[in-house]
Amino acid sequence: MSTEKSQTILSRSELDTFKAGYELGKKVLGKTIIGLHGELGAGKTAFVKGIAEGLEVKELINSPTFLGISESYSGKLPLIHMDFYMKVQKEELVRSYLKSDAVIAIEWIKNFNEIFKSDLNPNINVFIEYMRDKENIIIDNERQIKIEWL
């Protein structure tokens, strides 16, 4: 992976967010849990689409908000994409995925503790935050992406 502990990227478009995910996906060498943090619509799924591309995944990547979990096995490593926004996943299913040798990208990871009453410690945390002006108004299409390797 990387010897850096964190990296901050300014994204000015969905493509920039995708590219940041792509660069991370290319660096992943084995089983990795990636926790994604950010407000609704911040770009978590676009980032995961980039990770998938970096892993050479061929399947279409969509937000698993309503499905809860989606799986892709066509890349260099399996990609398991989870979403805890709706908080509907069964614990035994989630725990079985967490044991797999895959890249596991989890949107709304902060809800994991609330749902399962235990902490999940990802290998990488990705924080995607809207950039705001002096009046705290969101600047169109500008986000700060902070990637932390733990």
At 46-61, the pLDDT tens digits run: 999 999 999 999 998 9
Strands 103-107 and 79-83, by their bridges, are parallel
CA proximity to 63, closest of 36, 23, 94: 36
Q: Which domains can be identified in the chain, with CATH numbers? A: 6-149 (3.40.50.300)
Q: Is the pLDDT score of 125 beyond 70?
A: yes
Q: For residue range 87-108, list pLDDT tens digits in order.
A: 667 788 888 999 999 999 999 9
Confidence of residue 76 (pLDDT cuts 50, 70, 90): very high
**Cβ atoms of 77 and 28 closer than 8 Å:** yes
Please tell me the pTM assigned to this model. 0.91
* pLDDT at residue number 4: 67
* pLDDT at residue number 87: 65
Outline where DSSP puts E strands in 5-137: 6-11, 32-38, 69-72, 79-83, 103-107, 124-132
* pLDDT at residue number 2: 44
Q: How far is CA 142 from CA 24, 25, 43, 110, 130, in A?
A: 19, 22, 10, 23, 6
CA proximity to 9, closest of 134, 138, 139, 128: 128
Give me 82's structure tokens: 């989870």
